[in-house]
């Protein structure tokens, strides 16, 4: 394979290093440069010299063009022999320049039609400890351009920082770095001047600050040369002046304030002016002219070693047993408790009582005042905030000084001014108690205070130091003894704080300016930490600014105080400190704005408030619609058919190792295995499936156990595949679409067994869950917004939390830096949508062995394009290990989506037993979904809440009691047909560590498993909410070893049918992920899967009309009658109507109605409750409130017009309550329940009247009189007018009114059949059922127990009812 060629147009010293790196990486390099010396050097590196620019361009894949000045652009690019002329469009053009961004951007716009890929670069030497002296490259360009340039740039530099977007980031970054260098340089000189004026030797200041929080790269690397007199003043100041002038001009054009840089630039200008008068003067001499401080002479004076003095002190230290400690704040508490651990007796005082209680709990002795903790102590440590507080605790009411014993030593560790310390020492001497003072300010932070690893700068009289020596040694890792007496230690601390404060303020100015320049501040932070612009404070406080996290680790007001000390001392000592005082004013501004109590890094908010920029480097929430609309059009051809074809060619089975069951969210008709024995895998491979899942549930395990599990499964897969002829497979690690899980541990484990692959593929796109990856940033959709994943609740997961939303940075974060973000490759949406599968294949084939590549996608088509390209690459011999969400799996094997399944699709809609809903997931989304479920479906659900505290934190006995109670109650609810929600309490209980949190999760999950295991009722369906919950229930509670994914219950919600070996074979199992759906998603699924409930009487009659049969309405009077009808209906699978006559209601009342309604609700077949022959308006008004499904308004005893008025009135009321109404036209003779209508009163239904009656009343059913009678028919038999019935049916069928025939008892089969043919859909049955009941009672004299009498009566009635159901044709119709 031919070496890729990179051309260089123009060379400099840095270009030579870039070229050398390319040659070492196997590239062929050629160059054109007018300097013969540079060309000779280039040739020695192995480069090929070209005679002209045209020759340099020949055959190149990338062309690096050096632009030193803006005037070169026209000649280099636009002439007849310019760079662009004749250059292939697919060559990557790399512009090496730091000219102003506007010039580079204009260049890009002018040639973008001729060159597709353009990036700019700014190479510089890294100063970080890891990469010190090695080339790092800052580059920018459009995503597709940076992707194509990445291989070349990675070969050129140790580190590459890509800013995606418009080019010019290199020049912008350089300006920000130079801003910091300039400010740090002047601040270093100011600090040194103040230290000298305070009597501190310059080299002592240098040595201590170089190892403290005030250090910067400029301080450490420039100051040593300055103190030695090695710097060339005009050259250094001239370079600073020119560079900072450019930065200030840019800021001016952007209308952006740079107060620190402005004052630093003025100082540099003044120094440059002085140096011009004396070209031989050193830079220090020039500075001395400005500051009036002779640093040079001080630097040449004899110097001592403060650490050696500390070692010497330790040999002479006096024993101190009792220590008083005043001030138990964040630092003081750590220091005091560390002294306790070091076997000192410590008496502590603090104004905040809860802190004092904590101190006592740690073993300290609390005191109620400074005086109380000062009695009988050898050493008193004062660690309060400021001079005012120090004065108060020492000399105020109940102050320490009056109570201290003679000869005691005070260690003052507060940051105060040297003048205050000197004055305090004099006052103590005047006490005539031989009280001694050690000036010992500290540095290092809260953690170092607690660990006893502080840096302490101590000064004082020898006797005082000897008495305090053991305490100082116990608290410090670095102890410096500063000569010069009390105040010298505070002098060093003051100098350190000057630099620390300026460095925080300059970090704020730099990051805000970078944000204004449009740079990604998170990436800018990484750039600066590797550059000469870095400082200890920048690296420590910069992340706070980028994260916008101002949790007060050190309050902003502390620097108002500390730089205030610097300002006062500079004034009293007559040392001009311009930069330091401006920094002080910035902190004062922050405090005035109300930010004094939050973190000192909040000084950046001063710039944000003034300018409107946001330094926060987190990706921001975006408008989903706007983002998706801004993307290029999708690839025009759907590759799914190609994928199916290519999959068949590859003959590989895709095995998805699913870390929880939710990975089956997008597939259907695929097997899931919950165990992975070699035998089971052999059986599965023999089926020749295109895909199957193995449920590992590894997300519920520790990292070590998850890795071991993956190795075991991969080993078994390998063994099983070897047993089955012609079997090949590829493994996908299906993980969470919100980036939780064991990465990279599982990938490492898989590769350790399966062998190395060409690349790891990271692809968390999942459309149904609203997960999009755009510009390498992974988003979670929330309504109409796209939230960066790192900003969601999922990123705060106790076990798998993360910060990065950019997937390249996420890989670096999760691998602990093993895979740097700049080495991670990506497949962009632009490549997917413009290049299609072939471009994907080419990109994947070009990846270096062992690469990691992230996949962007915003649609299913994007996913399909990637899958097709990946399969093509595999067919060319490439191998990949994919860590993906659910969408990839279905696309990869060519599964075409189908609509969500309903209960009717699985033939479970008619089952009357309840469904079981189990919720264990704790993500906030689940809690919202549960709240909405209860809001929407609470009326139809039975809820059992399981206390997480009791099942995870209490005794085994309490845990068992909770589990047994929940299982018993759930059984009752399910058997009664109620959908039952078993949920854990919503208060999240977490451990102190990730391991403890996993253990709590295990206890909760195992309790839910036990509850479900102990439920004996087979549910209609099971819904498990949460990945771990659904996995454990399937495998442990339900004992499923395999299941079939039949589809989805909702988009993104898998629906399984459990295998034959499980406890409930074939039961639908809804695997509802914790992170899927909006707040109403669970409620929607439960609503779909809830039993449809009782059909209305209207629906029962409508079904009878469609089916050509009739339904029996059976009069009931008591419990036995109700049970007889329901039992017969369930046995015959027939609908039925329980009918109550007014006479029965008079005896049984509302309890009889409630009994009927309850029986109907519990029945497994459609049953409704009907009130018959309501002839009293007042009675029917009462009946309407009792829960009947239908009523009969019987106005047959009234005149026609009165009947219409009566029926219409009741029809309106009934319909308003969704009840159907039956009426009678004509009048039946005979007796029913002691109500008799004589023959002369009876009359047949008139068809013409029926027409008017129906239109006027709006009834739903009409009871007809066609010669039928209540009670027994005469001996001659019934004489029904079937011709009249036919005419009535012709009328009513067109009006949607159903016909009812009263008096069906005693009608022979042939007449019943003829009536059904002529439209009768409801037969009222009473006499024969009553007769069976009465005869049963008459024959019960031999039975001794009432329950036997009831049983016999019920069976007798049931037989009659069942016979009628067959006669009416309704048997088997439910």
CA–CA separation, 1328 vs 1261, rounded Å? 24
CB within 8 A of 1012, min separation 6: which ones? 916, 918, 967, 982, 1022, 1033, 1037, 1038
CA–CA separation, 580 vs 1301, rounded Å? 103
**Contact by Cβ (8 Å): 1026, 1001:** no
At residue 1043, the 3 state secondary structure works out as strand
Burial 587-607 (b: 16+ CB within 10 A, else e): bbbbbeeebbebbbbbbbbbb
List the strands of the sheet with 771-774, edge to edge: 622-623, 785-788, 777-782, 771-774
CA–CA separation, 777 vs 849, rounded Å? 24
**Contact by Cβ (8 Å): 248, 262:** yes
At residue 852, the 3 state secondary structure works out as strand
CA–CA separation, 673 vs 321, rounded Å? 68
- Copy the structure tokens of residue 196: 């000298």
CA–CA separation, 1053 vs 1059, rounded Å? 19
* Phi, psi (rounded to 5 degrees) for 1093: 85, 180
> Which residue in this structure is represented by tokens 């994943």?
789
CB within 8 A of 88, min separation 6: which ones? none
Strand partners, 460: 438
| Of residues 526, 530, 539, the one with CA closest to residue 126 | 530
Q: 277 an active-site residue?
A: no
User: How many CB atoms are closer than 10 A to CB 517?
Assistant: 22
CA–CA separation, 825 vs 1211, rounded Å? 73
**Contact by Cβ (8 Å): 448, 459:** no
CA–CA separation, 67 vs 106, rounded Å? 14
CB within 8 A of 768, min separation 6: which ones? 665, 666, 886, 887, 1051, 1052, 1076
**CA distances (Å), 1089 to each of 910, 925, 978, 1078, 1373, in order?**
11, 21, 12, 18, 22
Q: Assign residue 292 a region (left: φ > 0; alpha: ψ between -120 and 50; beta: otherwise).
A: left
| Of residues 1188, 1110, 1143, 1191, the one with CA closest to residue 1368 | 1110
Q: Assign residue 92 a region (left: φ > 0; alpha: ψ between -120 and 50; beta: otherwise).
A: beta
Burial 82-110 (b: 16+ CB within 10 A, else e): bbbeebeeebbbbbbbbbbbebbeebbee
Which among 57, 159, 436, 493 is annotated as catalytic? 493
The dihedral through the CA atoms of 373, 379, 384, 386 has a sign that is: positive
* Residue 51 Cα to chain centre, angstroms: 58
Helix/strand/coil (H, E, C) string of 896-938?
Answer: CCCCCCCHHHHCCCCCCCCCEEEECCCCHHHHHHHHHHHHHHH
| Of residues 1178, 1171, 1109, 1108, the one with CA closest to residue 1137 | 1171
Write the DSSP assignment of 563-583 as a string of letters: HHHHHHHHHHTT---HHHHHH
**Contact by Cβ (8 Å): 664, 1045:** yes
Q: Rounded to the nearest 5 degrees, what angle is found at the Cα of 327, between the Cα atoms of 324 and 330? A: 125
Write the DSSP assignment of 25-61 as a string of letters: TT-EEEEE-S-HHHHHHHHHTTPEE-SSHHHHHTT-S
* Residues with active-site annotation: 493
């Amino acid at each position: 394979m031919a070496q890729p060629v990179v051309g260089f147009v123009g060379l400099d010293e840095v270009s030579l290093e870039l070229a050398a790196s390319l040659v070492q990486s196997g590239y062929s390099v050629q160059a054109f440069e007018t300097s013969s010396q540079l060309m000779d050097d280039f040739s020695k590196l192995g480069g090929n010299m070209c005679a002209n620019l045209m020759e340099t361009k020949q055959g190149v894949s990338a062309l690096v063009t050096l632009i030193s000045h803006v005037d070169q652009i026209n000649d280099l690019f636009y002439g007849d022999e310019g760079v662009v002329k004749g250059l292939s469009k697919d060559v990557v053009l790399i512009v090496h320049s730091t000219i102003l961004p506007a010039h580079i951007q204009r260049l890009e716009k002018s040639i973008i039609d001729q060159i597709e890929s353009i990036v700019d670069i700014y190479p510089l030497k890294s100063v970080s400890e890891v990469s010190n002296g090695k080339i790092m490259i800052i580059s920018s360009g459009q995503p597709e351009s940076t992707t194509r340039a990445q291989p070349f740039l990675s070969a050129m530099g140790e580190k590459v920082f890509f800013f995606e977007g418009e080019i010019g980031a290199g020049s912008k970054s350089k300006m920000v770095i130079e801003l910091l260098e300039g400010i740090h340089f002047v601040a270093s000189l100011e600090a040194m001047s103040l230290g000298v004026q305070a009597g501190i030797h310059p080299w002592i200041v240098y040595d201590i600050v170089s190892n403290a929080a005030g250090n910067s790269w400029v301080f450490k690397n420039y100051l040593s040369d300055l103190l030695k007199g090695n710097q060339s003043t005009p050259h250094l100041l001239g370079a600073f002046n020119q560079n900072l002038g450019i930065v200030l001009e840019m800021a001016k054009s952007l209308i952006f304030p740079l107060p620190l840089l402005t004052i630093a630039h003025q100082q540099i200008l003044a120094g440059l002016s002085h140096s011009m008068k004396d070209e031989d003067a050193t830079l220090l001499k020039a500075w001395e002219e400005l500051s009036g401080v002779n640093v040079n002479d001080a630097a040449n004076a004899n110097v001592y070693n403060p650490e050696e003095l500390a070692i010497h002190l330790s040999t002479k230290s006096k024993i101190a047993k009792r220590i008083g400690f005043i001030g138990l704040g964040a630092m003081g508490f750590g220091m005091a408790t560390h002294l306790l651990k070091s076997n000192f007796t410590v008496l502590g005082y603090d104004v905040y009582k809860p802190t004092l209680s904590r101190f006592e709990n740690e073993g300290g002795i609390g005191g109620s005042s400074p005086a109380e903790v000062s009695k009988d102590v050898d050493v008193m440590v004062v660690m309060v905030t400021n001079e005012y507080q120090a004065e108060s605790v020492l000399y105020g009411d109940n102050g320490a000084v009056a109570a201290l014993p003679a000869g005691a030593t005070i260690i003052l560790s507060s940051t105060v001014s040297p003048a205050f310390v000197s004055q305090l020492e004099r006052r103590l001497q005047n006490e005539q108690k031989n009280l001694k003072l050690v000036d010992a300010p500290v540095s290092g932070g809260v953690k170092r205070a607690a660990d006893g690893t502080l840096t302490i700068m101590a000064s004082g009289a020898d006797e005082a130091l000897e008495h305090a020596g053991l305490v100082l040694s116990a608290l410090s890792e670095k102890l410096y003894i500063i000569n010069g007496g009390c105040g010298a230690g505070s002098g060093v601390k003051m100098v350190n704080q000057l630099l620390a404060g300026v460095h925080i303020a300059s970090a704020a100015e730099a990051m805000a300016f970078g944000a204004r320049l449009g740079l990604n501040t998170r990436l800018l932070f990484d750039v600066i930490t590797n550059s000469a612009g870095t400082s200890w404070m920048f690296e420590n406080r910069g992340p706070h600014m980028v994260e916008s996290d101002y949790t007060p680790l050190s309050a902003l007001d502390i620097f108002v105080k500390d730089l205030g000390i610097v300002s006062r001392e500079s004034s009293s000592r007559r040392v001009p400190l311009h930069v330091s005082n401006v920094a002080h004013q910035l902190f004062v501004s922050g405090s005035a704005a109300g930010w004094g109590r939050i973190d000192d890094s909040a000084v950046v908010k001063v710039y944000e408030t003034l300018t409107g920029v946001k330094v926060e480097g987190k990706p921001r929430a975006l408008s989903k619609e706007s983002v998706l609309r801004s993307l290029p059009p999708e690839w025009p051809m759907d590759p799914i058919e190609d994928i199916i074809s290519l999959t068949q060619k590859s003959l590989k089975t895709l095995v998805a190792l699913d870390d929880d069951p939710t990975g089956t969210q997008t597939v259907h008709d695929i097997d899931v295995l919950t165990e992975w024995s070699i035998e089971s895998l052999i059986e599965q491979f023999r089926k020749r499936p295109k895909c199957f899942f193995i449920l590992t549930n590894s997300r519920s395990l520790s990292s070590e156990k998850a890795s071991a599990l993956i190795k075991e499964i991969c080993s078994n897969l390998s063994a099983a595949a070897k047993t089955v002829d012609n079997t090949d497979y590829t493994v996908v690690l299906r993980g969470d679409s919100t980036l939780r899980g064991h990465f990279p541990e599982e990938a490492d484990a898989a590769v350790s067994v399966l062998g190395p692959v060409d690349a790891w593929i990271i692809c968390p796109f999942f459309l149904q869950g609203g997960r999009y990856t755009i510009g390498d940033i992974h988003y979670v959709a929330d309504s109409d917004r796209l939230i960066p994943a790192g900003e969601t609740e999922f990123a705060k997961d106790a076990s798998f939390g993360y910060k990065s939303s950019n997937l390249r940075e996420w890989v670096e974060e999760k691998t602990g830096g093993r895979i740097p973000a700049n080495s991670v490759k990506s497949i962009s949406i632009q490549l997917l949508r413009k290049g299609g599968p072939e471009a994907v294949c080419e990109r994947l084939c070009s990846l270096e062995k062992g690469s990691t590549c992230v996949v962007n996608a915003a649609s299913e088509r994007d996913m399909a394009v990637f899958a097709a390209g990946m399969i093509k690459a595999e067919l060319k011999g490439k191998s990949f290990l994919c860590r993906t969400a659910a969408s990839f799996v279905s696309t990869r094997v060519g599964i075409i989506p189908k609509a969500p399944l309903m209960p009717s699709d699985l033939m479970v809609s008619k089952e009357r037993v309840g469904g079981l809903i189990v919720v264990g997931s704790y993500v906030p989304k689940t809690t919202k979904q549960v709240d909405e479920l209860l809001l929407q479906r609470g009326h139809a659900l039975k809820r059992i809440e399981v206390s997480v505290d009791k099942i995870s934190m209490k005794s085994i006995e309490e845990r068992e009691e909770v589990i047994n109670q929940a299982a018993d109650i759930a059984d009752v609810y399910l058997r009664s047909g109620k959908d039952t929600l078993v949920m854990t309490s919503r208060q999240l209980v977490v451990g102190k560590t990730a391991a403890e949190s996993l253990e709590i999760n295990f206890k909760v999950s195992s309790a839910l498993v036990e509850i479900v295991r102990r439920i004996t009722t087979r549910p209609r369906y099971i819904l498990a909410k949460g990945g771990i919950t659904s996995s454990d229930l399937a495998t442990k509670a339900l004992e499923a070893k395999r299941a079939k994914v039949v589809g989805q219950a909702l988009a993104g919600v898998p629906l399984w049918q459990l295998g034959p070996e499980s406890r409930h074979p074939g039961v639908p199992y809804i695997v509802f992920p914790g992170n899927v759906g909006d707040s109403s998603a669970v409620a929607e699924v439960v609503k779909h899967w809830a039993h449809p409930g009782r059909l209305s009487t209207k629906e029962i009659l409508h079904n009878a009309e469609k089916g050509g049969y009739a339904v029996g309405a059976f009069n009931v009077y008591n419990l036995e009658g109700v049970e007889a009808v329901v039992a017969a209906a369930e046995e015959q699978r027939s609908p039925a109507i329980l009918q109550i006559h007014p006479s029965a209601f008079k005896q049984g009342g509302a309890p009889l109605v409630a009994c009927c309604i309850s029986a109907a609700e519990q029945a497994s077949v459609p049953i409704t409750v009907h009130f018959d022959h309501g002839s009293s308006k007042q009675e029917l008004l009462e009946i309407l409130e009792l829960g009947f499904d239908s009523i009969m308004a019987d106005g047959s005893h009234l005149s026609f017009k009165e009947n219409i008025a009566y029926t219409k009135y009741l029809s309106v009321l009934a319909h308003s309550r969704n009840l159907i109404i039956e009426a009678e036209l004509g009048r039946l003779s005979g007796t029913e329940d002691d109500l008799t209508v004589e023959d002369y009163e009876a009359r047949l239904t008139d068809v013409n009247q029926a027409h008017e009656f129906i239109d006027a009343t709006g009834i739903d059913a009409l009871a007809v009189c066609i010669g039928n009678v209540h009670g027994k028919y005469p001996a001659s038999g019934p004489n029904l007018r079937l011709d009249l019935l036919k005419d009535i049916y012709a009328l009513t069928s067109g009006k949607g009114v159903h016909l009812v025939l009263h008096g069906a008892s005693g009608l022979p089969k042939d007449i019943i059949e003829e009536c059904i043919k002529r439209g009768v859909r409801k037969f009222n049955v009473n006499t024969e059922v009553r007769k069976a009941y009465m005869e049963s009672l008459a024959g019960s004299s031999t039975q001794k127990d009432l329950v036997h009498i009831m049983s016999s009566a019920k069976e007798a009635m049931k037989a009659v009812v069942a016979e009628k159901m067959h006669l009416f044709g309704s048997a088997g119709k439910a």
